[in-house]
Each structure stands twice: as C-alpha cells, then as structure tokens.
Structure 1
Amino acid sequence: MKKKLIYFLGCQVIIFALMLLVYKNIQLVPYINMSFLVGGTITFVGLMTYVVSGGFFDFFTESTRKVFTPKHMKKEAEQMRLPSQIFSFPYKPIIALGLSSLFCMCIALFIYYSY
C-alpha cells in the first residue's frame, strides 16, 4: 500500500512539474489538462501492456516469422520469444495508477463546474 501511495504522489509531482513547465502557473484548468494527459498516457501504456501480454499479437508474430523468414534461418526464428513472453511484468498497477490520476482529474472537473 505504501508503494502505491509513493507512485501516486510521484505521478502528482510529475503533473505539477509539467504544469509549471508548460503553463507557468498552478491553477485548476492546467491541472485538469495535465492530469488528463499524464493519466491517459499511463492508462494507455497499461492497457497496451495488457493486450500484448495477453497473447493478442502472438499469432500475428508467429505467422509473419514463418512467411518472411528465409529457409536457412528457420531454426533461429522458431527460437525467438513471442511478445507475450517479453512483456511479462504486471499491468494492473500501471492501469490503477493511470485511473487514479484520471479520477483526480474528474474530482477537479467536478470542482471546476460546481463554481
């Protein structure tokens, strides 16, 4: 739990640093924009990791190797790892971090439209 909180606070520090770098001030609308970009990017990376590690591209990779590999390199091509074997790290914490940043953005949007 402590590790997740540190990652979340680090993500918020990145959002504030980017906000100061791009907008040169700290206000609600720049926070909403940056948290959407950062949270959306992290969520996208987590979802892409989920898709690749789930084996979605394995069939495509195997068939492409069979068709486009020269005959004298067939053994080397069969020994190559599949994308699902390369991306074996957990994707759930990445998705959770991105969704938590997007949740903070939703809270900020609610505050913005309440006033």
Structure 2
Amino acid sequence: MKKKIIYFLSAQIIIFLLILLIYKHIDLETYANISFYIGGGITFLGLVTYVVSGGFFDLYVSSSRKFFTRKHLRDEIENMRLPSEVFSFSPKPILALGLSILACTCIALFFYYG
C-alpha cells in the first residue's frame, strides 16, 4: 500500500512539474489536461501489458514464426519465448495508478464545471 501511495504522489509531482514547464501557471483546467494525458498513457500501457501477458498474441506469434522461418531454423524458433512469457510482473499496479490519476482528472473537471 505504501508503494502505491509513493507512486501516486510522484506521478502528481511530475504532473505539476509538467504544468509549470508547459503552461507556466497552475489552474484547474491545465491540471485536468496534463493529468488526463499522463493517466491515459499509464492506463493504456497497463491495458497493453494486461493483454500481452494474458497470452492473447501467443498463437499469432508462434504461427507467424513457423510460417516465416526456414526449415533448418525451426528448432531454434520453437525454443524462443512467447510474448506472455516475457512479462513477469502483474499489470494491476500500473492500471491502478493510471485509473487513480484519471479519477483525479474527473474530480478536477467536476470542480471546474461545478
């Protein structure tokens, strides 16, 4: 739980630094814009990690390896790792961080339009 809070706070610091670098002033609209970009990017990265680690592309990768390689290299190709075996970590913390940043974006937009 402590790691999640540290990651969330460091993401918020990065968001505020980007606001100061790009816009030179801090207001609710610029916070909503930058946090949407950061949160959306992290959520997209988490979703891609979830899909690849779930084994969605394993059949495609293994069949395309077999189709596009020469016959004398087939033994080497069969020993190569699949994309789902490359990811050894869980995508849940990445998704949780991205969704929490997007939740902060929604809260900021609620106050901005309210």
Identity of matched residues, %: 65
- In the superposition, the TM-score normalised over structure 2's length comes to 0.98
Structure 1 runs of 4+ aligned residues shifted over 4 Å read none
1:38-96 Cα shifts (integer Å, max 9, x gaps): 00000000000000000000000000001001111111100000000001211000000
Q: Paired residue for 2:73?
A: 73
Question: C-alpha distance in 1, partners of 2:50/2:88?
Answer: 9
Partner of 1:82: 82
Structure 2: gaps spanning 5 or more residues: none
Q: RMSD of aligned C-alpha atoms?
A: 0.6
Name the residue aligned to 2:24.
24
Number of matched pairs: 114
Alignment map for 1:1-115 (pairs within 5 Å) = 1-114=1-114
Amino acid of the structure 2 residue aligned with 1:70: R
CA distance in 2, matches of 1:60, 1:25: 48
TM-score of the superposed pair, with normalisation by structure 1: 0.97
